[in-house]
Structure 1
């Protein structure tokens, strides 16, 4: 057989096929690129090929990680969706009861608004946590102030958004917002007029943001005192409103032996109850003022702190509320007490 005939096209073809088979067996698809001048003729890969193969492996690894994270996110979203559907079902059972006496459906119109806010809040919280995670990654990576400020502004914009959504929910049913039905049980324990107490938040920041300058500490202390005064004033107004409504209802019950009595006494009772409803309508305004106070305190804190301190403050606040939600989960899953 002629192994080296210069005019033998069959021999060159066989050599090419052998080379291709060897490359595919080794898994080095990049060695087939004819333009790679760094590839060595003895079958060993050159530096460019090795770099390309390493880049391909790294790209494949990142792709697998992204796919894994995406699958985990889908599973988490499905779990949250299932939980929301259960909550919606319970809310329908509790908020759309039909009276057997032929009256109108209980809380049908207002229930829709409060229920919609619960769904919107769950969506808002998920997106808010994503922004907080982005901020945490930027802080860990020692990002510049301009990059941090852009994320901080986005988080502050989301705080304004939830305030707007809460205001719309209060117009539908102020008592749903006041009771904080969209929050976890432990969060509801610390709730004040549909949200957090700004003064308590300032105490948290003063202890978690050390070291602060004397001027910064003084400004935070002044802001804390003014916030506490505003909170006390709103709490007092809420209590006076409650007492006034209770006295009005008591006056209605005392105007006759029964609100179901016929004649003018029933009319007097109806008038008293209408007056009580009108007084309770002021609760919507108090809830809006409380949210305005929360936003105003956040904005003033942002002016007191540096950009990097403000980023750390937002992370500290987010961590605090995450711990409250975690504590609520532990409380719910705790073993029953007082049972044999």
Structure 2
């Protein structure tokens, strides 16, 4: 099952558990309510544990998809952007990992051995990665410029807000 399909099922189950949890009084008045509350909190904790276990496993298979998070909402993806995760971050990871692997296998590589990992990238492949990175940087810069323009314009109060200030 793809992580995206897992996530949708997981998220639907989370909504259900949260709905159940919201129906329990915040201050349980008897032992039965207290036990139900404890069980539901444990269920939420186990649910999140499962999420990170599956996500970790999925990242081992396809880390870029996990970072891109196609299942995330626009708001969630914008928060990634705001906190510093940009598509070009993936290129930095590729360069770093390929350098580390190349250096650790240099003797084997010189003898013609290949490992099938990022350390085996050919000069042509690295050039293509570099071209893609340049394209991504241009797109990121365009988005950043647009966001800067939008932020510079700032919020403009509506005529209604002036009426409130006057009153």
TM-score tier, shorter chain, comes to 0.3 to 0.5
TM-score scaled by structure 2?
A: 0.47
TM-score scaled by structure 1?
A: 0.25
